Amino acid sequence: MGLDDFKENQEKKVIDANKKVRVGFIGCGWIATSHIKALLKQPDVEIVAGCDLIPGKAKAFFEKFEVEGVKTDYASHKEMLADKSLKLDAVTICTYNRQHAEPAIEALNAGLHVLLEKPFTVTLDEAVAVMKAEKASGKVLSIGFQPRMDANMKMIKKIVESGELGQIYYIQTGGGRRRGIPTPYGTTFIEDETAGIGALGDIGCYSLDMVLNAIGYPKPLTVSGYKSAFFGTDPNYAGYLNCGHPEYAKKFGVDDFAAAFIRLEGGIILDFRIAWAMNLDTPGDTIIMGTKGSLRIPSTECWNGTVGGPMTLYHEVCGEQTQTEIPIIKMKEGLFDLKIRTFLDAVKENGTAPVPSSQILYNQAIIDGIAKSAELGREIEIEIPEI
Ligand SMILES: NC(=O)c1ccc[n+]([C@@H]2O[C@H](COP(=O)([O-])OP(=O)(O)OC[C@H]3O[C@@H](n4cnc5c(N)ncnc54)[C@H](O)[C@@H]3O)[C@@H](O)[C@H]2O)c1
């Protein structure tokens, strides 16, 4: 399939604006802004309710976006979910990581479709519990990995599926930032009680998804993991000094760097590293090595949902070693618009989740395995419970 096919795939579909999806927000912080902007562009959405643990935050949020008639007088997501007068079809869960599992389970139990922000959860056990609720409800649960919607990411999967690389045996993935611990709106990303996991879950989940999705999400078998927090716990960390909050160092309770060596089913080795902060420009490009060819995917400075530049395919043509540049594909639509649209389409057509939990379960199992292995200081087997 060529570039023209990708462009065709991006064509807009016809939307039945008479059939509206009634949506509620759980969590009205930073990322909820991207959700509301994308939802407001859709002709078949009614935003009917929203809640946040911080009193007044949900009301101010909808006022800022000039959305009228939204009920926000709820002390918690439980109250909002119990309000049957809302006739909700779906919720978008934009809460910090430690508050992903519980609202997702309760929304599914209330018979609602759920768009849940990434990372899936903090622990593997939580992800399994959410999936049990999903199974019992029969509703759509999609996890918020908008880089999946990027045509360049899709190209990676196409290349792998085309057989150009032959049998894949080794993958290196990851990335990170020189100084990029996310504290623009406070400490919800860095405190254990709200975030639970740091760079490992926040941006690590994306780089894992980029390669695991491309190769069809093989089951992870074992992991030897490492994590550290040298920058986040330092009151002289440049990011804290720049925003005038050296005290954030004391609040830092997660990782700012993680690395792992993971064995996947099919004899594939996955070498992974991720950083919110490091004394380096990049810990390396992503590479996918195969028996017929290999792919180099330039890293980005930060996870912005796409690849860092043209990819290179290293292969043989008529016995000669050569390389082919895969140009960047420009997107017509924003990734968040596509994330929201594909979710709505799944809800309305009662279809399959665009980013299904059954795949992201393995992503979460790796993250959970890295955290556990790092704490134990040795390799561990990854055990995934039946759902
Ligand atoms: N997809 C992306 O590109 C992207 C980007 C940034 C953040 N995120 C993810 O989105 C999530 C939220 O991040 P954020 O930056 O918006 O954080 P944030 O701290 O700005 O907002 C989270 C909000 O959720 C509220 N909240 C927590 N638990 C709640 C509950 N049970 N009921 C109601 N409200 C609750 C908090 O009070 C807070 O206002 C995180 O898991 C993060 O990983 C995704």
Ligand 1 centroid – CA 189 distance (Å): 9
Percent residues over pLDDT 70 in the chain: 97
Rounded to a whole number of angstroms, the distance between the first and last alpha carbons of the chain is 36
Give the residue ranges of DSSP H helices in 169-222: 199-202, 204-214
Burial 241-272 (b: 16+ CB within 10 A, else e): eeeebeebbebbbbbbbbbbbbbbeeebebeb
Nearest to 177 by CA among 208, 202, 197: 202
Mean local confidence (pLDDT), 246-265:
98
**CA of residue 30 to ligand 1 center, whole Å:** 7
Which are the contacts of 376, defined by CB distance < 8 A and separation ≥ 6? none
- State whether 119 and 162 are in the same domain: no
Residue 202 CA: nearest ligand 1 atom is 43
Find out whether the beta carbon of 118 lies less than 6 Å from any atom of ligand 1.
Answer: yes
Is the CB of 51 within 6 Å of ligand 1?
A: yes
In a domain, 203, yes or no: yes
Specify the CATH number for the domain of residue 167: 3.30.360.10
Residue among 31, 150, 248 whose CB has most ligand 1 atoms within 8 A, to mutate:
31
Q: How confident is the model at residue 185 (pLDDT cuts 50, 70, 90)?
A: confident
Domain boundaries, position 329: 148-333+364-381
In this structure, is residue 122 part of a structural domain?
A: yes
One domain, residues 224 and 165: yes
- Number of the ligand 1 atom closest to the C-alpha atom of 95: 24
Whether 166 shows a pLDDT value over 70: the answer reads yes
Cα–Cα dist 274/260, whole Å: 9
CATH number where 118 lies:
3.40.50.720
Going by pLDDT thresholds of 50, 70 and 90, the confidence category of residue 245 is: very high
pLDDT tens per residue, range 24-54: 999 999 999 999 999 999 999 999 999 999 9
| Total domains in the fold of the chain | 2
Ligand 1 neighbourhood includes 72 CB (under 6 angstroms): no
Closest protein CA for atom 5 of ligand 1: 31
Predicted pLDDT at 1: 53
Task: State in Å: Cα 267 to ligand 1 middle.
Answer: 37
The strand ranges marked E within the chain are 21-26, 45-51, 90-93, 113-117, 141-144, 168-176, 220-228, 257-264, 268-275, 286-290, 293-297, 311-317, 320-326, 380-381
**Run of H or E including 81:** helix 77-82
Mean pLDDT for the stretch of residues 237-246: 94
* 60 and 160 together in one domain: no
Whether the CB of 202 sits within 6 Å of ligand 1 = yes
Residue nearest to atom 18 of ligand 1 (CA): 29
Q: Is 11 in the same domain as 46?
A: yes
pLDDT for the residue 3: 57
Averaged pLDDT, 267-281: 96
d(CA 119, CA 370): 14
Task: Please name every residue paired with 324 in a beta bridge, in sequence order, or none if there are none.
Answer: 313
* Residue 387 within a domain: no
Same domain, 275 and 186: yes
Quick one: 157 and 266 in the same domain? Answer: yes
Distance 190 CA to ligand 1 centre (A): 12
Please tell me if the CB atom of residue 36 comes closer than 6 angstroms to any atom of ligand 1: no
**Is 360 in contact with 131 (CB distance < 8 Å)?**
no
- 128 and 175 housed in the same domain: no
Residue 324 lies in a domain: yes
Which phi and psi (to 5°) does residue 327 adopt? -65, 155
81 and 127 part of one domain: yes
Q: What's the mean pLDDT when you consider all of the chain?
A: 95
Q: Do 194 and 178 sit in the same domain of this protein?
A: yes
Strands 293-297 and 257-264: unpaired
Contact status, residue 329 vs residue 322, Cβ threshold 8 Å: no
Convert the pLDDT of each residue in 206-227 to its tens digit.
999 999 999 999 999 999 999 9
Residue 227 lies in a domain: yes
**pLDDT value at residue 12:** 60
In the Cβ-directed half-sphere of 186, how many Cα atoms lie within 13 Å? 7
Residue 8 has pLDDT above 70, yes or no: no
Residues 6+ away with beta carbon under 8 Å from 121: 97, 100, 101, 127, 130, 364
210 in the same domain as 79: no
Best probe residue, ligand 1, of 36, 94, 105, 114 (max atoms within 8 Å of C-beta):
94
Is the CB–ligand 1 distance for residue 52 below 6 Å?
Answer: yes
Q: What is the DSSP letter of 129?
A: H
Let me know if residue 386 belongs to a domain.
Answer: no
CB neighbour class for 296 (10 Å; exposed up to 12, middle 13-18, buried from 19): buried
375 found inside a domain: yes
- Could you tell me if 142 and 172 lie in one domain? no
Q: Which two tokens stand for residue 53?
A: 């643990």
Which pTM does this prediction carry?
0.96
Probe target for ligand 1 pocket from 25, 30, 185, with the most ligand atoms within 8 Å of CB: 30
Cis omega (within 30 of 0) for bond into 119:
yes
| 228 vs 2, higher pLDDT | 228
Q: Of ligand 1's atoms, which has the minimum distance to the CA of residue 26?
A: 33
Q: What is the 3-state secondary structure (H, E, C) of 133-162?
A: HHHHHCCCEEEECHHHHCHHHHHHHHHHHH
Question: Do the beta carbons of residue 70 and residue 48 sit within 8 Å?
Answer: yes
Residue 377 maps to a domain: yes
| Contact between 266 and 164 (Cβ < 8 Å) | no
Shared domain for 276 and 342, answered yes or no, is no
Residues 321-350, mean pLDDT to the nearest whole number: 95
